[in-house]
Amino acid sequence: MSGGLRVVLLCALAAPARALVGGLWTSRVATAARWQDALAELAPQPLVLGADDGAGGGRDTVALLFVSSRLWEDGGAGGRGRGRSSFAEIVRAACDALGTDALVSVVSDGVIGGRREIEGEPALALLTGPLPPGSAVHAIALATGATARAPLLAASARAAASAASTPLHSFLTFVDPFYECAALLRELGELFDGAPVCGGLSAPPGEEPSIALGPRVLPVGSAIVLGFAGAVAMHAVVAQGCRPVGPSFAVTACDESLVVALDGMPALEQLQLVVDGASDDERKLMEHALLCGLGARDDDAAADGRDSLVRIILGVTQQGAILIGVGDGELHVGTRLQFQIRSRASAQQDLDTQLQRYRLERQFSPAAAALARAPCGGVLFSCNGRGQRLFGVSNHDSECIQAALADLGAGAGADGAVPLGGFFANGEIGPVGISLGGGGSRTHMHGFTSVLALLFPTADT
């Protein structure tokens, strides 16, 4: 870990400068088979990126690179790749080409830029843009086995003492699959009182380095946390791709990850009643895609299935209990539980529903009224089980998101699109449903989910 490494991410200028924002933030994708050609297409000339303020206040520019592992799996031109060193080679060349050491790079099998999602092909995606005045983002590199508490608190104190004048209040996380993510999310929640957190796990082709901070590729078992301070807000939209089937129950007995009783009856008996009352199509889906949704908020907005944390059902016991895959504190007596099914249609419906909810909550939220109408940019963390694998078409989530934000009048780019970058993740990090910031939301690790983080300058910057 290095306290001198600081990177900033995802914001732009003030509301009146909407056209200017679109001109300054860019999202690009290149699909050339050779990474050298793809990089030349993305960055034909060095970017004008701000430097660290020299006083611990962070940088004022974002530069995010999403790297398809196919660029070296295929050797860049259809042959055998050169292995792990190629990611490091790409990262170093990208930092040189962009003229920055503030680049955050992530490996995946699919990358996202603008309205395009490139899956299973050699590609690079680049998202860049300036931060608004009075804001900054600090980057902290973490290794497995080392607590995140001290470096997070130190970065927050530096932010509060700098021009941003506030502690860290929103976070993006880029984590490799071999890092202990649960502990990180727990510490972020404890230290920053439910501040919004979005992110994803990289998806390397094997147990090899897959994230980088500047020109430095981090070892296996690492994470990068980017914390925002000052005049920027982060909104989150999370679509888990499921729909409820059957009624909502109260968990009346449980033991760690075992649901023993629902509404006073053995859990398996209640499940059988749900199966008996389901349609033929629902029963077919339940045979291979049965999950459950848990009340994810203290006020149990999930009682109607609207804001439930979706978890996989792992099996049943001879005593009639149901074993589910839950994290610490996610299951307790009194939790609302509703069985869920996942399909192409349910994933489409859930994404549309969550985007519609976001548009309404954004429109009527007093806190959101203090923000610029147009987001300066966004990051999309989409499960690698979505995309063409689920929907049968390319660009599904990106196009739905762009259409929804355009309807809101939020398109920030020159073509009316929000500058959007991201990747297909090995696990997605975010709240449940919609978060407009301000704390109070618990962060979870998700699967088969689309997590969208949108960043807004405050209206008075």
Per-residue pLDDT of the chain (461 residues; tens, 9 = 90+): 333 333 333 332 222 222 233 347 889 999 988 999 999 998 876 665 555 544 455 667 778 999 999 987 554 433 344 444 489 999 999 999 888 888 999 999 999 998 999 999 999 999 988 888 888 888 899 988 777 888 888 888 888 877 667 889 999 999 999 999 999 999 999 999 889 999 999 999 999 999 999 999 999 999 999 998 888 889 999 999 999 999 999 999 999 999 999 999 999 999 999 999 999 999 999 988 899 999 854 444 444 445 889 999 999 999 999 999 998 889 999 999 999 999 999 999 999 999 999 998 888 888 777 787 788 899 999 999 999 999 999 999 999 999 998 866 555 555 678 999 999 999 999 999 999 987 777 899 999 999 999 998 886 55
Evaluated on CA atoms 270, 273, 277, 280, the torsion sign reads: positive
Residue 357 maps to a domain: yes
Considering the domain architecture, whether residues 48 and 163 belong to the same structural domain is answered as: yes
Q: Is 319 helix (H, G, I), strand (E, B) or coil?
A: coil
Count up the domains in the chain and report the number.
Answer: 2
Look at residues 363, 376, 345 and name the one whose alpha carbon lies nearest to residue 436. 363
CB–CB of 436/362 below 8 Å?
A: yes
Q: Is 110 helix (H, G, I), strand (E, B) or coil?
A: strand
Considering the domain architecture, whether residues 89 and 34 belong to the same structural domain is answered as: yes
> Looking at 341, 372, 400, which one is the last position of a domain?
341
Q: How far is CA 197 from CA 137, 226, 238, 290, 429, in A?
A: 14, 10, 11, 27, 7
DSSP state letter for 374: S
Look at residues 230, 226, 260, 265 and name the one whose alpha carbon lies nearest to residue 247. 265
Give the whole-angstrom CA distance, residue 366 versus residue 360. 12
What pLDDT does 58 receive? 61
Residue 220 maps to a domain: yes
Considering the domain architecture, whether residues 84 and 195 belong to the same structural domain is answered as: yes
What pLDDT does 46 receive? 64
Considering the domain architecture, whether residues 370 and 317 belong to the same structural domain is answered as: no
Considering the domain architecture, whether residues 56 and 32 belong to the same structural domain is answered as: yes
Domain of residue 394: give its range: 15-239+352-457
What pLDDT does 9 receive? 34
> Looking at 341, 368, 384, which one is the last position of a domain?
341
Considering the domain architecture, whether residues 287 and 421 belong to the same structural domain is answered as: no
Cβ-based burial of 403 (10 A; exposed 0-12, middle 13-18, buried ≥19): middle
> Looking at 313, 341, 369, which one is the last position of a domain?
341
Evaluated on CA atoms 437, 439, 445, 446, the torsion sign reads: negative
61's tokens: 């520019």
Look at residues 237, 205, 286 and name the one whose alpha carbon lies nearest to residue 422. 237
What pLDDT does 146 receive? 75
Residue 90 maps to a domain: yes
Look at residues 179, 255, 161, 182 and name the one whose alpha carbon lies nearest to residue 224. 179
Residue 336 maps to a domain: yes
End-to-end CA distance of the chain: 33
Residue 308 maps to a domain: yes
